Structure 1
Amino acid sequence: MRLLGVGMCAAALAVGLLASPAYAESGPDRSDGRDGRDGRDGRDGPGLRGAGWALKDTGKDARFRGLAAVSRSTAWVAGSKGTVLRTVDGGRSWRDVSPPGAVAEGLELRDIEAFDARRAVALSIGEGEASRVLRTEDGGATWTESFRNPDPRAFYDCLTFFDSRHGLAVSDPVDGRFRILSTDDGGRNWSVLPSTGMPDALPGEAGFAASGQCLVSAGSRDVWLATGGSASARILHSADRGRTWRVAESGIPAGDPAKGVFALAFRDRTTGLAVGGDYRTGQASPQAAAVSADAGRTWSPAPTPPPAYRSGAAWLPHLRGAALAVGPTGTDVTTDGGRSWRALAPGSFDTVDCTADGGCWAAGEKGRVGRLERTGPDS
């Protein structure tokens, strides 16, 4: 979007948060547990006790809105100034693998999807030729530009992959409909899909390039698109890799170019979360979360949403009802599938991503990257 082109048991929870020994990193992003929000009141279960973000020094000041978590040890981040970093040792060290051309032009890399430690696809945003797709097969040693947007009316926001071959990217509406870009060879080649199956966009409707999570997929064919900036914030769903779409109201407040759904997360093809709000500093964001249990056909407001705007969301691995939401004012956690949220840690992050081996990463402004870890006597 141009405005942003700017009740599981403690043992199960421990699978995700105790997969490695506690680290020494600490600081203002740790939950100290004194207010009961770390699980000591029994609502979250003792497994959340002491969980928090261990910051990983990247040595950079770029804003990382793009994040691809591969495992507890391997993650990629992408952001401003054409910056891409990669770690393969759990964040103890980072390699600058920025595409030289992206650095030279100061591209805004707002999304990155990685298949492993060597293969990744990154999206830069902006009007016309500023929207590009770059890919690497050698851990970022070299990059190939596989798509450069030729249409000055298009502005690409997010991308997602169903598997290592099939993926989509989305542009803000062109000729009154969102434009979908498709690849079936891992991002080597891209083509614009026909718009006949896409519902008409509302006046002013667009996607938010805030966290790389305005377009997300689950399984081999299902994909969801989050919108805002118009009279209502909507969520579109396709069950055929972007060829036809069904639209639903999210229930998250809109009615302003700065408001809407900023991020989606689906645990599987039926169970989803939506978070958002008003991204302007100091503005209230009531009812800024919603849940769906029917593949996005309908959405229900969270009875107890996060207290402020949130730009990123991810399901915690191995925990059926647990998820995280992040934003400029902190991180919140839910253990009941998104119906109620409680503060986990302060500190600003823009995006979050979790992996099957229990790794959860977050990234944001001023080079901030963290990994969810545990400290304390029961770690």
Structure 2
Amino acid sequence: MGKLRRMVCAGLAAGVSGAVLAAALSVPAQAQGASGGAAPGWRLTDTGSDARFRGLAAVSRTSAWVAGSGGTVLRTADGGRSWRNVSPAGADGLEFRDIEAFDGRRAVALAIGEGEASRIFRTEDGGAHWTESFRNTDPRAFYDCVTFFDSRHGLAMSDPVDGKFRILSTGDGGSSWKVLPDAGMPAALPGEAGFAASGQCLVSSGPKDVWLATGGGATARVLHSADRGLNWTVAESTLPAGDPARGVFGLAFRDRQHGLAVGGDYRPEQASPQAAAVSGDGGRDWRQAKTPPSAYRSGVAWLPYSGSAALAVGPTGTDLTTDGGRTWRTVDTGSYDTVDCTWDLGCWAAGEQGRVARSAF
């Protein structure tokens, strides 16, 4: 899922734990409050911010980072009871859309935008100090997402430049970045781009596999690289396309074979009847969900220790699948843009108006 996962604790009953997580979030929509707030599965936290948080890095049940509008980065170490503003100095005018955390002290945050608005920052002391490790100087580039394979190796992706998606690479934990050669990158479709909606348009699983989600073109596609971004193959998804507002907005892979794609049309007045798809072969082929989420979804995450349960979130709610993405049902009507789950049975969601929630398992 593009977020670093810790090793499974010894003796943990993995299958049972996954079932418990799914059951805890399986709350009938009609049982929720009319306001669409947090259902028993989600517990809203008080961030003290009104930023829109599209960047989320869940470290554990108690530790998480969020990044969003107005150059805002927050961190919690107590399960969301309190949040510390650890925004980089002078970043007020930036738009953070993705953040990757290695632990409670080390993180890498991506700001998006044309030209020099696209920047990458890195901290090693819990956000007390940040180093700007990359600033885009090409006015044609627009960076959308970042992902890490481990604590040293990672990639960031830009919308197409000279007809191909541009990939940045780091081998030192985000301290320095270089543009990879594009000889192994397929040509982009006219109008094709990534969506910086949830920090999940570029995700990785394992030491070398990475997937890139697209939209805006005639078809919504998923690109895959098995060598850390040097060579790519491309597959068409089943999600809505043919418009700048439609495509694949979020990806999640629980291993190098099993993946989920969510998206649709982000305009609230437009329906998204085919908002999810599933792959069982590493993204080479995608099957439309038999019962997809009822509306556009921007973020998706597998539940820990479950081979079949996952969450998808968007402005109109949270959906749960317990059959590997074939069918989905709404379990909460609160607004979230992104979701992430952790090795110790915790899940977090973040979105507009400073909304950050965690699971109450």
Query: TM-score, normalising length from structure 2?
Result: 0.92
Picking from 110, 113, 134, the partner of 2:97 is: 110
Taking the TM superposition and a 5 Å limit, the aligned residue runs for 1:120-199 are: 120-199=107-186
**Is the 1:159–1:170 contact (alpha carbons within 8 Å) kept by the matching residues of 2?**
yes
The alpha-carbon distance between structure 1 residues 366 and 198, as it changes in their structure 2 partners (threshold 3 A), is same
After superposition, give the CA deviation of every residue in 1:334-368 in whole Å (9 maximum; x if it has no partner): 00000000011111000000001011000000000
After superposition, give the CA deviation of every residue in 1:44-102 in whole Å (9 maximum; x if it has no partner): xxxxxx74210000000000000000000000000000000000000000000000121
**Is the 1:351–1:362 contact (alpha carbons within 8 Å) kept by the matching residues of 2?**
yes
The alpha-carbon distance between structure 1 residues 31 and 251, as it changes in their structure 2 partners (threshold 3 A), is closer
**Distance between the aligned counterparts of 1:173 and 1:11, measured in 2?**
41
2:105 maps to 1:99: no
**Is the 2:18–2:304 contact (alpha carbons within 8 Å) kept by the matching residues of 1?**
no
Taking the TM superposition and a 5 Å limit, the aligned residue runs for 1:323-338 are: 323-338=310-325
- Secondary structure of the structure 2 residue equivalent to 1:163: coil
Aligned length: 342
Taking the TM superposition and a 5 Å limit, the aligned residue runs for 1:19-98 are: 33=28, 35=30, 51-98=40-87
After superposition, give the CA deviation of every residue in 1:122-169 in whole Å (9 maximum; x if it has no partner): 000000000000000000000000000010000000000000000000
Q: 1:359 maps to which residue?
A: 346
CA offset at residue 33 of structure 1? 3.6
**Distance between the aligned counterparts of 2:110 and 2:226, measured in 1?**
23
Picking from 20, 45, 55, the partner of 1:14 is: 20
- Secondary structure of the structure 2 residue equivalent to 1:101: coil
2:290 maps to 1:290: no
**Distance between the aligned counterparts of 1:31 and 1:327, measured in 2?**
17
RMSD: 1.8
**Distance between the aligned counterparts of 1:82 and 1:35, measured in 2?**
37
After superposition, give the CA deviation of every residue in 1:274-327 in whole Å (9 maximum; x if it has no partner): 000000012100111000000001101001000000000000011110000000
Q: 2:6 maps to which residue?
A: none
CA offset at residue 35 of structure 1? 4.9
The alpha-carbon distance between structure 1 residues 346 and 200, as it changes in their structure 2 partners (threshold 3 A), is same
Q: 2:210 maps to which residue?
A: 223
**Is the 2:29–2:331 contact (alpha carbons within 8 Å) kept by the matching residues of 1?**
no
**Distance between the aligned counterparts of 1:373 and 1:80, measured in 2?**
27
Q: 1:317 maps to which residue?
A: 304
Matching residue's letter, 1:67: L
- Secondary structure of the structure 2 residue equivalent to 1:86: strand
CA offset at residue 12 of structure 1? 4.2
Tell me, which stretches of 5 or more residues in structure 2 are unaligned?
1-13, 33-38
- Secondary structure of the structure 1 residue equivalent to 2:116: helix
**Distance between the aligned counterparts of 1:12 and 1:343, measured in 2?**
18
**Distance between the aligned counterparts of 1:186 and 1:59, measured in 2?**
30
**Distance between the aligned counterparts of 2:79 and 2:31, measured in 1?**
29
**Distance between the aligned counterparts of 1:364 and 1:253, measured in 2?**
23
Q: 1:200 maps to which residue?
A: 187
Q: 2:4 maps to which residue?
A: none
Matching residue's letter, 1:160: T
CA offset at residue 16 of structure 1? 7.5
Which 4+ stretches in 1 moved above 4 angstroms?
A: 8-12, 15-18, 34-37
**Distance between the aligned counterparts of 2:23 and 2:121, measured in 1?**
33
- Secondary structure of the structure 2 residue equivalent to 1:100: coil
Matching residue's letter, 1:55: L
The alpha-carbon distance between structure 1 residues 192 and 11, as it changes in their structure 2 partners (threshold 3 A), is closer
- Secondary structure of the structure 1 residue equivalent to 2:307: coil
**Distance between the aligned counterparts of 1:237 and 1:283, measured in 2?**
29
CA offset at residue 373 of structure 1? 1.6
Tell me, which stretches of 5 or more residues in structure 1 are unaligned?
1-7, 19-29, 38-49, 375-379
Matching residue's letter, 1:145: E
Query: TM-score, normalising length from structure 1?
Result: 0.87
CA offset at residue 372 of structure 1? 1.4
The alpha-carbon distance between structure 1 residues 174 and 253, as it changes in their structure 2 partners (threshold 3 A), is same
CA offset at residue 14 of structure 1? 2.1
Matching residue's letter, 2:283: G
**Is the 1:17–1:373 contact (alpha carbons within 8 Å) kept by the matching residues of 2?**
no
**Is the 2:21–2:303 contact (alpha carbons within 8 Å) kept by the matching residues of 1?**
no
Picking from 232, 242, 252, the partner of 1:265 is: 252
The alpha-carbon distance between structure 1 residues 11 and 145, as it changes in their structure 2 partners (threshold 3 A), is closer
CA offset at residue 271 of structure 1? 0.2
**Distance between the aligned counterparts of 1:182 and 1:277, measured in 2?**
29
CA offset at residue 13 of structure 1? 2.0
**Distance between the aligned counterparts of 2:81 and 2:23, measured in 1?**
18
2:230 maps to 1:243: yes
The alpha-carbon distance between structure 1 residues 100 and 254, as it changes in their structure 2 partners (threshold 3 A), is same
**Is the 2:17–2:305 contact (alpha carbons within 8 Å) kept by the matching residues of 1?**
no
